[in-house]
Amino acid sequence: MLIYLLLTLTVLLIAFNVKSRQEECTAAIGSDYNYIYRGITRQRLKSAVGIFAIFVLLTGVSSIRLNVGNDYSNYVEFMHRAFSGAIVPTEPGFNYLTILIYKLSGFENYVAVFFVFAAATVFFFLAAIRNRSENFWMSFMMFMLLGYYFQSISTVRWYLALSIAIFAAYYCIEKDWPKFVLLVLCGALFHKSLLVVLVLYPLACIKWRRWMLGALGILCLSTLFLKDFYLQVAIKIYPSYAGTEYLSGGGLSKVNILRCLVVGAFAIYVLRKDVTKDRELSFYFFCNLFGLLFYTFGSFIPTVSRIAYYLTVTHILYVPLLINRVDEKTFKRTNIRSVLKILTVAVCLVYFINYMRGAGNDGVRILPYETIFFHELPATLSERGFG
């Protein structure tokens, strides 16, 4: 666990010197002198160096691990089978990338495959935070302490898809549909669950009328009576879940429901009538609302958290935005924004501690941390034999 704690502390300290593009623009507009500078500013250079250092550290720790993560050995087995031409349950992107790396390496170099996934996942998350956050440090802190980075060690393909989703959200907000669709389709080559954002993200951007909200409410209530019907529809869309333990559902996720309720209530309190004023605010608000509805009424859906996570991952951008929109004039004697930032850090820290306490459990298994330098990979199923 020490390596994770040192890594988290180090990258959070480095992140203090990094500013997002929106923060840089705000600083330039608010300065006493406005001028055109075609070079690179000192702050932009510090941000670039900081981003690169964070990228190297996060990618390095993730890529040199060995048999760390819930599905590490399973992925090594799938890579071997894909390279051998056998049938595997993984998507074409994963299979062809494995074959390409193995052929270029001249041997079954699964470490290189994990490196590519780690680098791509970290890149897309950092790029999304750098481009869209109004407070880079706050968003990055939430990314680390809420476990997104550490879960990417455990669930490789899905977290690559999740990172692409939050990166592609920018193009959805900006109505750049070709880039949005292309990114999602490319990401779906590695985890097809990403395709749901082709529907959910545009829905979060539209102007919702009262009758539309009423229809959504009726749809949610209908799940109480037509659960079996919706479950059969879900199985037809994702047939690989048929006959598995996932059909039992994961039950209500009280923590995630509470999290969505708090974020939604905070947004309404801060923005009031402006909660859906523009496409960006509307997108974040309805992503949170849809996430709440999935957790509350869709708990019977197999691995519903995967769908909901595509929606609630936007919290790492939404919460810093809301804090920046708090009217400080209402709290004259208190620096309310600083108080809210401290409170947010405290809540995320509690979550991080609780997450790390179960980091060695089945379903996570990021502890104990082992590396390719000092440990050997246990024999996979193909090496042990099927007998």
Model confidence pLDDT, tens digit, residues 291-309? 999 999 988 777 788 889 9
Please report the pLDDT score of residue 381 as a whole number: 63
pLDDT-derived band at 42, boundaries 50, 70, 90: confident
Summarize the confidence of residues 51-74 as an average pLDDT: 93
C-beta of residue 199 within 8 angstroms of C-beta of residue 228? no
Please say if the pLDDT value at position 290 is more than 50: yes
For the segment 214-229, the average pLDDT, to the nearest whole number, is 90
Residue 9: pLDDT above 90? yes
- pLDDT tens across 311-346, in order? 999 999 999 999 999 887 777 767 889 999 999 999
pLDDT at position 148: 96
pLDDT digits (tens, 9 = 90+) for 249-258: 555 688 999 9
Phi-psi region of 256 (alpha: psi -120 to 50; beta: other; left: phi over 0): alpha
Q: CA 80, CA 115: separation in Å to the nearest integer? A: 17
Q: What is the pLDDT of residues 148-165, one digit of tens each?
A: 999 999 999 999 999 999
pLDDT given for residue 189 in this prediction: 95
> What span, in angstroms and rounded, lies between the C-alpha atoms of 280 and 267?
13
Average pLDDT on 236-260 reads 71
Q: What value does the CA radius of gyration of the chain take, rounded to a whole number of Å?
A: 22
